[in-house]
Amino acid sequence: MALPGLHLQLDSLPAQHTQRTAAQLLQEQAEQQQHLASLSLQLQTAEQIEAAKRRKDELARERNKIEQKLAAFDELQALRTSHLEREEQTQELQLQREQLEDRLAAVGDEEERLRLSLHEHNAQLSSLDDQHRSICQLREARNDSAQLFTYLHELPRHEWLAATELSLSALANTLKEYQKDCERLTRLEELARTAVSELHVGGLNKYQQSENRDSEIRRAKTLLIRESEARAGLRVEHLFRLSFIVGKEGQKSEAFADIDGAASNGTVLMAKLVTGLALLHQMQDKRHRVRSACYLDEALALDGPNQTSLIETAAEFGFALIFASPAPLATARYCVPISRHNGQNQISQKSWQILEPKEPGVFA
């Protein structure tokens, strides 16, 4: 198509509508009917296939049920075949169960026996601990160190026929009896020594005058009872008069009935200690040289010179002073560590620390 100033290509445009003929329409109608028949056949075939699938699934389920029944029947047959064997296994397992129950009962009885045995052993252990503590206390508090006991092993000894061998369990009680025997022997020795001294002083006349002395003692007891009732009890100052003469440098001596107000605390303490040591020294038997330990608590109340003087005075009286103080003392010569074991204090001479060697000839 040509227009002035415009050129159009009409070849690429679709063909315009053309009127088909009757023969063409009949042919197209026949083709469409054939296609419809083909689709109907396909639909019928699809429906048949779906029905066949449902039938197949139903038959598969029936087959599974039949197979399960067959398997159950086979299992039933197998169980019937192994009935005797299973009964034997059941009896064997029942026997094993009874054996296990018997063993459990025996274990329970054994456990109870072991529990009772453990309780008995704990009681024995506690008893042994008590005996051990008692033995340690008795061993530390021995009273057979006097000269009286030093020659006992030299005396003739006759074995008692009824004596039995000492057992370890009876050691604590035996030590207690031994301590009592030592005390009785010490009292007998004192009584014998007193009787010998009185015999030397009074001679045989002492025993002739014993009846008169007994009556005098009874009268004295009656008098003491009356005085005690009248004074609502007797004290030392009712029976004795004690006076302390204190002399200070550059001053006149003074007498004090109560030493507590005589001087300072340190001086008063020194006077009490020296007086006590002197009294103890006077009470000793001069026929025997005895050295004893004297324990002084709160020794820090004394200064260094008074401590030294008290140590020297105590040594003259035959005593070794043991000072106890919460703080270090200038006169200390040993450091004694105290350890604890099983709840008890223990001291070993091997662990002593020497701070100042003891001078030769000094008892301290």
**What does the pLDDT look like over 190-210, one tens digit per residue?**
776 776 666 555 544 444 555
> Is 73 within the bounds of a domain?
no
Which of 107, 140, 173 is where one domain is finished? 140
| pLDDT at site 68 | 92
- With residues binned 3-state (H G I as helix, E B as strand, rest as coil), the percentages for the chain, rounded to 5, are 65, 10, 30
Work out the average pLDDT over 108-113: 91
What is the distance between the alpha carbons of residues 328 and 307, in angstroms, rounded to a whole number?
13
> Is 364 within the bounds of a domain?
yes
> Is 229 within the bounds of a domain?
no
What is the distance between the alpha carbons of residues 359 and 293, in angstroms, rounded to a whole number?
18
What is the distance between the alpha carbons of residues 349 and 332, in angstroms, rounded to a whole number?
16
**What does the pLDDT look like over 167-183, one tens digit per residue?**
777 778 888 888 888 88
Pairing of strands 2-3, 244-246: unpaired
Contact 327, 300 (CB under 8 A): yes
> Is 356 within the bounds of a domain?
yes
| Angle, helix 171-202 to helix 83-140, in steps of 10 degrees | 20
> Is 311 within the bounds of a domain?
yes
Which of 124, 140, 156 is where one domain is finished? 140
**Ramachandran angles phi, psi of 345, nearest 5°:** -75, 140
Least confident of 130-139, 241-250, 301-310: 241-250
Domain of residue 131: give its range.
96-140
**What does the pLDDT look like over 309-347, one tens digit per residue?**
888 888 888 888 888 887 877 787 777 778 887 778 888
How many domains in the chain?
2
| pLDDT at site 252 | 79
Positive or negative: CA dihedral 23, 24, 25, 31? positive
Which of 112, 140, 168 is where one domain is finished? 140
Name, in order, each residue with C-beta under 8 angstroms of 326's C-beta and a sequence gap of 6 or more. Answer: 300
Pairing of strands 244-246, 254-256: antiparallel
| pLDDT at site 292 | 81
| pLDDT at site 86 | 85
> Is 196 within the bounds of a domain?
no
pTM for the whole structure: 0.32
In the chain, the amino acid numbered 198 is E
What is the distance between the alpha carbons of residues 266 and 273, in angstroms, rounded to a whole number?
11
pLDDT band for position 213 (50/70/90)? low
Give the C-alpha distances (Å, rounded to integers) separating 64 from 54, 60, 61, 74, 75: 15, 6, 5, 15, 16
**What does the pLDDT look like over 59-107, one tens digit per residue?**
999 999 999 999 999 888 888 888 888 888 899 999 999 999 999 999 9
pLDDT band for position 363 (50/70/90)? very low
> Is 313 within the bounds of a domain?
yes
The better pLDDT of the pair 158, 309 is held by 309
What are the tokens at 290?
């005895």
In the block, which residue shows the tokens 């002084």? Answer: 296
Q: Is 225's pLDDT higher than 60?
A: yes
> Is 21 within the bounds of a domain?
no
In the block, which residue shows the tokens 């019928």? Answer: 44
Q: Is 56's pLDDT higher than 70?
A: yes
